[in-house]
Chains A and B, each alone.
Chain A
Amino acid sequence: MPAATDAVYERAARAILCDCGCHPQSVLECACSHAQEMREAIAAEAAAGKSAEAIIAGYVSRSGESILVVPKAEGFNLLAWFGPGAGLLVALVGMAVLVRKWRRSEPPPPGEAPPPAAASDLERLRRAIDEGR
């Protein structure tokens, strides 16, 4: 295949899902025999001069959007593309607010004095402090 055709093939095969039911993988990556058939079909279309976009659009029109390895970044799908990033921002802001609140808060007031600890408890506590860090 000429280099340009090769690039078209690779782009299309990387974007289209192998619908064999195995792992969610592109036609380019999947190792099953069905992927091999799909690779040959895509290579034939690329060799016939179709662009990667046209090959991908053909698959989407025949099989629906789920034939794409990842959904297009448009409409409702934007939620998937930007949702985690927005979640990260919210988490960072939330964390900053929480840390600020905790740092400003007073330590809890001492309650009723606990009963005096037994000597054995104190000894265990001393050992725990010695061993811990």
Chain B
Amino acid sequence: MTSTIGHFALYLALVAAAWATLASWLGTIASGRGLQKSAERGIYASFAGIAIGVLALEIALLTNDFRLDAVYHYSSVAQPLPYKIGALWGSQAGSLLLWAFLLSGMASITVATNRTKNRALMPWVVTTLGLVMTFFLILVNVVASPFASGPMRPDGVGLNPQLKNYWMMIHPPTLYLGYVGFTIPFAFAMAALAARRTGDIWFRTTRRWTIFAWFFLGTGILMGSYWAYIELGWGGYWAWDPVENASLMPWLTGTAFLHSVMIQEKKGMMKVWNVTLILITFCLSIFGTFLTRSGIISSVHSFATSDIGPAFAWFLGIVFFGSLLLLVQRLPDLAAESRLESVLSREASFLFNNMVLVGIAATVLFLTTFPLISEAATGRKVTMGPPIFNIVNVPWALVLLFLIGVGPLIAWRKATGENLRRNFLLPGLTGVWVFLLFVVLEGRAARESLSGMGRALVSFDAATFLDRLKAFYPPICFGLAGFVLATVAIEFSRAIAVRRRQNGENAALALVRLVGRNRRRWGGYVVHVGVVVVFVGIAASSAYRKETVQLLDPGGTMRIDGYALTYDGYRLEAVNDYVGAITELSVWQDGRFVGRLEAAQRWHPNMLFPELRTAFHDAVAARTGDPATYRARIQGIFALISRLEQGAGREVKTPSTEVAIHKSFSLAAPQRFGEDFYVTPLGVDPISGKANFRVFVNPFVNFLWLGGLVFVLGATICILPDARERQRLEAQMALEDRAAA
């Protein structure tokens, strides 16, 4: 009954969204506000319908309604409650429903907050938003319905074990908020073109939406990296997986957009580029959703393989080429109001920053889709692993880091020698000093790389030269980080000193008031600091990582880089929906005992095998009884799994790994600050306890997560309401309305 209500609610939501699109478009030609009001109510109605659909699916998940495919494939009776709720976005149909839900919510907020303003733009905004909503509602009603059903089944398959992690509850919705959020600035950009209001209003109105989308996408990427780090057991956090790349691309172009609109704001330049950037960002968001959900390029996320590809391809084509056509028609309205006076200027530095950001995004897009291009052109399948991405993107990223330092301090229009000396001498010296310090610390390795580069240069061996150059990437990165941090520190200290002199405030109060008076600017600096710290974490943890693999019996010890790990013993357990072998470990760091850890291997039995389900429930029932019986029953499950696997022809169990991490934040060992000692049990014999451990020492890796927190802080400062921004926007609106009149 509930699912039937959900099903029809989604139909009604589709009708309402289609009506909103049509009525709003008609409203742009007809006089009077009747049609427009009706269209806006259509957006609200569609939101209500989708919300009912979401609620109905959640009820089906919570009540184990295994008639629904979206419940049967992604939930099970034993699945813990949070994962039953999160299973909504585990399925393809459910995640598309979530997309539609978030979009309709944001569209409703946009309509509500623009009831009395932006009236020239709103009909086109509602048309665009309605069109995107209609597309996603067609998908969930026709192509991939979350309410598709079959016969009632006694139990479900359950969520992929790797997804049974608390990040499953947070990461996908966060990422989707980012993807979906870019629809609002895109809709305003299209409205500005269609209504021939190509001034500043469209991006000033949607600035907070843009930062909102960019913030959630960036945070979602960081969360996903952390999730991969703690769940997948390979000691890393980024593997240039197609789905990871899909989220990175719109974030990069969104970052470029946030910077380039500043040039339009200050100088009236780059109007065409800004519209193009937001169009690309929106298209990449749709492409990202498509890549995530279609499984078109094999990846860890390809559990979502489906036939939604053609629908997405058509929609993307229509949106991209339709928007491009509109842009070309409006080119005369988008002429620059001033010219670039010098390459030594902030405008030019933003131009270069845009080139690098869009360059990285284009490279990632090209390399991610290259397997498809290769297969189409030559019939050969190829794989694009991390090394090929790193070759190009690491140098790009270092240039970007340099520009992060240059951009905020170089003068608008034309930098003078005095401006450059005043702002960059000290940061430049700091950067060079840090670089040299790390080269000296590297010592012999640096000398060997340098002589290797020399030999390669003499013999014109470009490949070896580039390979040897890699050894200098970390010191270059640290040097550039020192440069950027010095520029930010100087900027803050100068501004605080001025406030202290003028207003007699203490340093803390001056800092708070300074940030409060121009949140976007100072919040932006904090974001820059966060990005720098992230870069340092990535560079150091990649370059100085150490690892070893060793087979140990209980009681055995292994050593790596000043650490000793003793395998004290193991225990077996049967809980929730898995059986696990938990290894108990003791860790010493530089001879000092630092703690006990537990790392586990889990097997999730396929409960659709009746004998396995019975054996599992028997083991769970014995948990509180005699320990020997409990252990024997679990060992019996392993034996049963082995027997079934010999002739089952389908998956009997799904393994997953729970890594153990010791984080070093103690000032007693400052050289290890931010370091992780990371243990993955590659295999544990449930009978003998013999275990194969893979151990990593990841220096500075926590700087990546700390930098992420600083990024979140900075972006939060930027996104807070700003009365002065609002006043400026209102003044601009008044001027544009007067000009239009």
Tell me the A residues contacting B by CB distance below 8 Å.
17, 21-26, 29-33, 36, 64-71, 75-77, 79-81, 83-85, 87-88, 91-92, 95, 99, 102-103, 105-108, 114-115, 117, 121, 124-125, 127-128, 131-133
Interface centre among A25, A81, A92 (most CB of B within 10 A): A25
In the docked arrangement, what's the CA distance between A127 and B367, Å?
48
CB pair B382–A103 under 8 Å, yes or no, is no
Is the interface on chain B under 10, 10 to 19, 20 to 34, or 35 or more residues? Answer: 35 or more
Sample of 13 A–B contacts (CB below 8 Å) = A23-B241, A29-B236, A30-B234, A71-B388, A80-B367, A80-B382, A84-B363, A84-B392, A107-B338, A107-B339, A117-B735, A121-B731, A128-B724
Q: Which of B331-364 contact A (CB under 8 A)?
A: 335-343, 348, 351-352, 355, 359, 362-363
User: From residue A110, how far is it (CB to closest CB) to chain B in Å?
Assistant: 10
The list of the 7 closest CB pairs from A to B, nearest first, reads A69-B385, A31-B233, A23-B239, A124-B731, A71-B382, A66-B381, A102-B340
Could you say which of B311-319, B370-378, B642-650, B710-718 contacts chain A? Answer: B370-378
In the docked arrangement, what's the CA distance between A114 and B627, Å?
88
User: From residue A108, how far is it (CB to closest CB) to chain B in Å?
Assistant: 6
Q: Which of A29, A31, A65, A85 contacts B657 (CB 8 A)?
A: A31
Interfacial chain A residues near B692, Cβ < 8 Å:
36
A23-B299, A76-B374, A81-B388 known; A68 vs B340 contact (CB < 8 Å): no
In the complex, the chain A residue whose C-beta lies closest to that of B297 is A24
Cβ of B109 within 8 Å of any chain A Cβ, yes or no, is: no
In the docked arrangement, what's the CA distance between A49 and B484, Å?
51
A sample of 5 more A-B contacts (CB under 8 A), given A66-B382, A66-B383, is A24-B386, A33-B655, A64-B381, A68-B383, A95-B351
In the complex, the chain B residue whose C-beta lies closest to that of A69 is B385
Interfacial chain B residues near A83, Cβ < 8 Å:
366
A103-B340, A131-B518 known; A21 vs B728 contact (CB < 8 Å): no
User: From residue B645, how far is it (CB to closest CB) to chain A in Å?
Assistant: 12
Tell me the B residues contacting A by CB distance below 8 Å.
228, 232-236, 239-241, 298-300, 302, 335-343, 348, 351-352, 355, 359, 362-363, 366-367, 370-371, 373-374, 377-378, 380-388, 392, 396, 517-518, 521, 655, 657, 680, 682-683, 692, 694, 724, 727-728, 731, 734-735, 738-739
Interfacial chain B residues near A79, Cβ < 8 Å:
370, 373
CB pair A95–B384 under 8 Å, yes or no, is no
A85-B392, A107-B338 known; A127 vs B727 contact (CB < 8 Å): yes
A127-B727, A128-B728 known; A31 vs B680 contact (CB < 8 Å): yes
Q: Which of A31, A95, A127 contacts B234 (CB 8 A)?
A: A31
In the docked arrangement, what's the CA distance between A117 and B212, Å?
34
Interfacial chain A residues near B392, Cβ < 8 Å:
84-85, 88
In the complex, the chain A residue whose C-beta lies closest to that of B463 is A73
Interfacial chain B residues near A69, Cβ < 8 Å:
383, 385-387
Interfacial chain A residues near B396, Cβ < 8 Å:
88
Interfacial chain B residues near A81, Cβ < 8 Å:
388
CB pair B380–A65 under 8 Å, yes or no, is yes
A22-B232, A76-B377 known; A84 vs B366 contact (CB < 8 Å): yes
In the docked arrangement, what's the CA distance between A102 and B345, Å?
13
In the docked arrangement, what's the CA distance between A132 and B386, Å?
43
In the complex, the chain A residue whose C-beta lies closest to that of B302 is A21
In the docked arrangement, what's the CA distance between A131 and B655, Å?
58
User: From residue B465, how far is it (CB to closest CB) to chain A in Å?
Assistant: 14
CB pair B381–A24 under 8 Å, yes or no, is no
In the complex, the chain A residue whose C-beta lies closest to that of B393 is A84
A22-B300, A76-B377 known; A70 vs B339 contact (CB < 8 Å): no
CB pair B359–A87 under 8 Å, yes or no, is yes
CB pair B385–A36 under 8 Å, yes or no, is no
Interfacial chain A residues near B352, Cβ < 8 Å:
95
Interfacial chain B residues near A76, Cβ < 8 Å:
374, 377-378, 380
CB pair B362–A87 under 8 Å, yes or no, is yes
CB pair A121–B735 under 8 Å, yes or no, is yes
A24-B384, A31-B680, A125-B731 known; A88 vs B359 contact (CB < 8 Å): yes
User: From residue B120, how far is it (CB to closest CB) to chain A in Å?
Assistant: 18
Interfacial chain B residues near A124, Cβ < 8 Å:
727-728, 731
In the docked arrangement, what's the CA distance between A29 and B228, Å?
14
CB pair B359–A29 under 8 Å, yes or no, is no
A36-B683, A115-B738 known; A25 vs B386 contact (CB < 8 Å): yes
In the docked arrangement, what's the CA distance between A24 and B386, Å?
7
User: From residue A83, how far is it (CB to closest CB) to chain B in Å?
Assistant: 6
Interfacial chain A residues near B384, Cβ < 8 Å:
24, 70-71, 80
A31-B233, A76-B377, A124-B731 known; A24 vs B385 contact (CB < 8 Å): yes
CB pair A17–B385 under 8 Å, yes or no, is yes
CB pair A128–B234 under 8 Å, yes or no, is no
